Copies of this chain bind each other. A is one copy, B any other.
């Protein structure tokens, strides 16, 4: 569960609720890893209070402050009974530098493999990919050397994750990385938005929850000069396939394609469509039959025209939420 930072903690809390629910709800035992943060125990207290308020049974802090700590069997053991692991925001390079390649990292990867929900926000999101954005500046246009890559936990292979994507204008730096490493899929997650990855039928499928979008760069067919561009020059990155995915979208990371959605048809509209279809079939039959005189056609049309009233009546019976929110593309 890859959260783009600044997830709502006070109001709807959709993403954090989803995390607690996925971790077992009332049975959830959540381990919080706040190592990325430079704040003191406050950050643990915030998430402790939050997860308990959202119904979790238990919250434990697992806070290595050195690689030595991350080798401590007592600390590593705290992950044993966890049903969910949550990595906070902060400095992802601190998190990866203290955790990656230690028994604690192995324990996180093992937990993930046996189905424990691993979530992280901001820095805790970045570290989940195999290749991690270490740091770098903002800007839409990719420039050589505008960012650095470090090694992440690798819960998601062949990817590089960026966060606060819209809010901090990070198109350029993620494009730079995929231009230099076109076997990586670039995943940018907006604030208060989560990319939830499930392993389904041997595929990794990403679903989107939250207010913003998850942006995916697929550079499989890129034409680029990133291997020879000098200093901080603007990069050529031609032929990158771009996917902007709002809440409700699903994207197959294995095939790198959008998962088609069953179109959400309003039940009233579906009934209208069925009825109109029947009218047309009746009309076609009448025309095909010998009696399709102009008079018969007129009568048929007059009968059809009375129908809208019955449709309207049926619509009125529908619960009102089917008819609010009608300010679409008109």
Contact = CB atoms under 8 A, between A and B. Distances in A.
A112 interface: no
Contact of A229 (B165, B172, B231, B329): B329
A226 B190 contact: no
A98 interface: no
A84 interface: no
A1 to B, nearest CB: 19
Which 8 pairs of residues, A with B, have the shortest CB-CB distance?
A: A234-B246, A141-B166, A237-B244, A238-B243, A238-B258, A240-B242, A140-B166, A242-B242
A211 interface: yes
B190 A165 contact: no
Interface string A228-257: 111101111111111111110101000000
A147 to B, nearest CB: 14
B234 A243 contact: no
Interface residues of A, number: 49
Contact of A190 (B141, B166, B180): B141
Contacts of A141: 165-166, 190, 212-213, 215, 244
A33 interface: no
A236 B246 contact: yes
Contact of A243 (B225, B239, B329): B239
A176 to B, nearest CB: 10
Contacts of A166: 139-141, 172
A325 interface: yes
A71 B225 CA distance: 49
Contacts of A242: 217, 237, 239-242
Interface in A154-178: 165-166, 169-172, 175
